[in-house]
Homo-oligomer: A and B are copies of this chain.
Amino acid sequence: MVHPKNIVVKISGKWINPDKPEIIGGYARVLKKLYEEGYRIAVVVGGGRVAREYIAAGRKLGLSEAMLDLMGIATTRLNAMLFTVILDNLAYQGVPRSLDEFMEAWSTGKIVICGGFQPGQSTNAVSALIAEAIGAKLLVNATTVQGLYDKDPNKYPDAKLIKETNIEETYRILIREQHYAAGGYELMDPLSLMIIKRGKITVKIVYGGDPENVYRAVKGENPGTTIRPE
């Protein structure tokens, strides 16, 4: 049950939050364009500054990691709601809190925007699960970086952007570079990679600061890194 025009867009919380109204506006224009070209689009919004603030406060107050995660997820939903109301009648006017609720919302034929689902599961993993659930073969990940590098670009000035690779290689790089450690740039966690692999989903990592990159990626260009599923 592959649907070639179904697409998932994961957007870093850095871009969809109250500090970036212009970028939100840019994403709204891009999604409108794609919607009118016949694409069906699911969007997953990550955490960001506001999430970090609530998590930091909760941590000072002695909350467990599970409850901090719950707070963070609530914040991603707030960002998702902001984006949802901006999209007006192009979007389903609610923020699904689980894959079940997502599927119900998806039935309406509108753009559906969500944040995280459950503690212990990143918004990257959520975007991969949704891609699999709706038979999407393309997941565009609009991140804070230009794409996947062979080394951590923050540490090594000679790090090179990888234009094309596959899941196995991605896994090796992320592990080697300890991208999962604190301060890593959280491109994809092992669960996301596993789902992408089994779902035979192509991932395009793009720089999310320019919403047009998402449009380009959907239309066949490769503005950052393309990760083939096999």
- Please give the residue numbers on chain A whose beta carbons come within 8 Å of chain B beta carbons, in ascending order: 1, 3, 17-22, 24-25, 28, 50, 53-54, 56-58, 60-67, 70-71, 74-75, 78, 81-82, 85-86, 88-89, 91-94, 97-100, 103-104, 106-108, 110, 117-121, 125, 128-130, 132-133, 135, 190-191, 195, 198-199
Q: Are B98 and A67 in contact (CB under 8 A)?
A: no
For the complex, give the distance between the alpha carbons of A117 and B117 in Å: 9
A interface SS class: helix
For the complex, give the distance between the alpha carbons of A201 and B95 in Å: 28
Complex interface: chain B residues within 8 A of A100 (CB): 70, 94, 97
Q: Are A57 and B24 in contact (CB under 8 A)?
A: yes
Q: Are A120 and B66 in contact (CB under 8 A)?
A: no
* Assembly stoichiometry (copies): 6
For the complex, give the distance between the alpha carbons of A198 and B117 in Å: 21
Other CB < 8 Å A-B pairs besides A28-B61, A92-B104, 5 of them?
A20-B57, A21-B58, A58-B82, A66-B195, A75-B78
For the complex, give the distance between the alpha carbons of A20 and B65 in Å: 19
For the complex, give the distance between the alpha carbons of A55 and B186 in Å: 29
Q: How far is the CB of A224 from chain B (nearest CB, A)?
A: 25
Q: Are A66 and B99 in contact (CB under 8 A)?
A: yes
For the complex, give the distance between the alpha carbons of A190 and B191 in Å: 10
Q: Are A99 and B70 in contact (CB under 8 A)?
A: yes
Q: Are A88 and B1 in contact (CB under 8 A)?
A: yes
Contact of A119 with B135 at beta-carbon distance under 8 Å, contacts A81-B71, A107-B108 already known: no
Complex interface: chain B residues within 8 A of A54 (CB): 18, 78, 82
